[in-house]
Structure 1
């Protein structure tokens, strides 16, 4: 069993910062919808509209904020954005109309998107290149552990069902980002990247990296699959009990917490990253096929199929995470990590925004055919990522190009 803690130093400090705010986020995720409806008094449709607009804004602003992290120094930028996120969450405590809610939601999404990019730039500057994928695995494990703890706290608030309980959850989330900023201040000050600061955003003209980001977005449809697609499928198309939705979420979170670091050890270059992504796509085909056969009238058979599919799903998720992390860093030019990570991170926003609509139409509307189509599309994207990565590597001015020859000869799944 790998050490659950990263080495002492910057890696462990980054993990502590991740833990500090992921606990608050876990509580926020499970209570926010009911809070905005019951405490703020907004109609669910307006909440959905506001959050969609906010994340769309956040995805657009994430790239220039990442560039600012490159130019002004990632530590200071990350600290400011953590504080801004805390302010946004705290403002939810007092907003009581749609206009203010939308403004606070846009600030929250913008600060979160920028903070993610700035953290990646911090990691790139403080962690040796060969250790980055492992460090990201530790961060992902910590994220899942924190979310699980936060979700449990949020569940207590939901059980209480009082305004005070909801307000306490949001206050804890706001405080968690303040704590995150304080932890980030323990990291060493990093100088701004030298160079021409008037240069326009390079990533917007980097076609290979854009293709890589687009293909990765297709694989990211696994995110709303767990939170939206499966719950709808279980309740609408299977005889499985509704409580299984929560059980499968716990299974996924626990597995990532325990096994993500070990899985990431197999990825140490462009060839192994491409291979991990192909294996992820193949596992997603199995996932979709097993979920498709869960539409039976026998509860025990449905539960068995759904648990089996969830095991395949979490294995695919961990391989995808490890492979995509490596490619996103390896193919980003030195000095523009924040900018490029901000762009790569837009895939998460797009998947979370459009994914629920696509998955609802495919899975609930088309049934078994929808599952098979989803698996085929993800498999195609996973296999296309290898050639896209080699194309991108050939256009890099430095290190990444070294892996092209080896990547071309990597055996299949």
Structure 2
């Protein structure tokens, strides 16, 4: 694995450039979209939240069939087509006026984004050797954070201007970024689609693979760390501590910067199922420690709270990077090679579920229960991380002994 923060030349670098292109646009979109829909389109905040919840629920449902489409039609063309579809849906927001058109456009956007993620993972699996995938995904995660940071800065300029033209410029930028992403992916080598013989034998598809479903569920529990940074910690700081509100932004910058700099290094030792499950277990232990530290920030002086919260955030981002590296390896190694898009589409629903259900769970635990809520959250995540080992062993055993008509994963020793 390369020591550089830049992926090797060839398909890996092109995939990183495609990631950078659309993440810049997404960063600008994320920081401006809520105010655009409320201030420019004129929707009530509650209706915006409802519409986006519905949209991402729909997106999580269509991720699997769109991933299966990538397997059947080839991931390169499917990924490029879905990037173009994302550009079109972003552009449609420029003319949306009213709640129903907004919901329809948001559903199309979320569906295209979910399908694009699955198709891009299948494309990566087809172009990059198995031993190099986790390292590349670490590069892509660093690239994603860098692009989001740049895009957020551009979005901040639009927020400062506060004009309709500035908001429209952000959406146009996001649409163009996905056009560039599509162009870059079309320049990659093609990956052969699944043969017609394999297609006819799937039935319920990935849902029949109960060990993989369990691994995905456990990973979804671990992904509660995502709304923790964007919602749980901000609410905790403002509702339960004496720390200044600006610390919310500082902790976000700390997290983003740490992932940009250290994610590649953190993923370096994850090369197979055994090392992946060890990384996930370590992430659970560190996450429990992080939750315990965060809980200590309540009831102390403002500057003591700041120090405690920074320490908790450092532990949290270490756990995040370990969990990410381990889960990437598991998602690929436990999926049949000829159904990669379908399986990655299903595994990716964990992100959507965590983002949809996480705010409700974290608000109840942290704001409602306080310190016991933090400890319960850390305990649940520790239990999920330790359960990943037995679930992975079940997955490899089932694959080895499964019926011959199903694609068989190669057995890999798991500690």
TM-score (norm 2): 0.96
Deviations 1:51-71, CA, capped at 9 Å, x for gaps? 000000000000000000001
Deviations 1:302-356, CA, capped at 9 Å, x for gaps? 1001110010010000000000000010000110000000000000000000001
Q: 1:281, 1:64 → 2: CA distance?
A: 32
CA RMSD of aligned residues (A): 1.2
**1:388 maps to what in 2?**
391
The answer to whether the 8 Å contact 1:278/1:382 transfers is: yes
Does residue 367 (structure 1) correspond to residue 370 (structure 2)? The answer is yes
Q: 2:192, 2:288 → 1: CA distance?
A: 45
**1:196 maps to what in 2?**
198
**2:403 maps to what in 1?**
none
The answer to whether the 8 Å contact 1:233/1:364 transfers is: yes
- What are the residue-to-residue correspondences of 1:167-186 with 2, within 5 Å? 167-186=168-187
Deviations 1:370-393, CA, capped at 9 Å, x for gaps? 000000000000000011011001
Instruction: Report which stretch shifted further, 342-351 or 185-194.
Output: 185-194
Q: 1:46, 1:361 → 2: CA distance?
A: 22
Q: Structure 1: which 5+ residue stretches go unaligned?
A: none
Q: 2:410, 2:189 → 1: CA distance?
A: 31
1:208 alignment partner, one of 211, 220, 224: 211
Q: 1:238, 1:170 → 2: CA distance?
A: 37
Deviations 1:156-190, CA, capped at 9 Å, x for gaps? 11111111111111110111001100111110122
State the 1:198 CA deviation: 3.1
SS of the residue aligned with 1:336? helix
SS of the residue aligned with 2:21? helix
Q: 2:204, 2:72 → 1: CA distance?
A: 12
SS of the residue aligned with 1:95? coil
The answer to whether the 8 Å contact 1:67/1:201 transfers is: no
The answer to whether the 8 Å contact 2:243/2:302 transfers is: yes
- What are the residue-to-residue correspondences of 1:6-405 with 2, within 5 Å? 6-194=7-195, 195-199=197-201, 200-397=203-400, 401-404=410-413
Deviations 1:271-330, CA, capped at 9 Å, x for gaps? 111100000000000110111011134111110011100100100000000000000100
Q: 1:401, 1:128 → 2: CA distance?
A: 15
The answer to whether the 8 Å contact 2:24/2:147 transfers is: yes
State the 1:399 CA deviation: 7.9
The answer to whether the 8 Å contact 1:394/1:401 transfers is: no
The answer to whether the 8 Å contact 2:267/2:325 transfers is: yes
Matched length: 406
Q: Structure 2: which 5+ residue stretches go unaligned?
A: 401-406
Q: 1:201, 1:187 → 2: CA distance?
A: 31
TM-score (norm 1): 0.96
The answer to whether the 8 Å contact 1:79/1:185 transfers is: yes
Q: 1:276, 1:189 → 2: CA distance?
A: 33
Instruction: Report which stretch shifted further, 115-124 or 149-158.
Output: 149-158
State the 1:196 CA deviation: 3.3
Q: 1:237, 1:174 → 2: CA distance?
A: 40
State the 1:147 CA deviation: 0.6
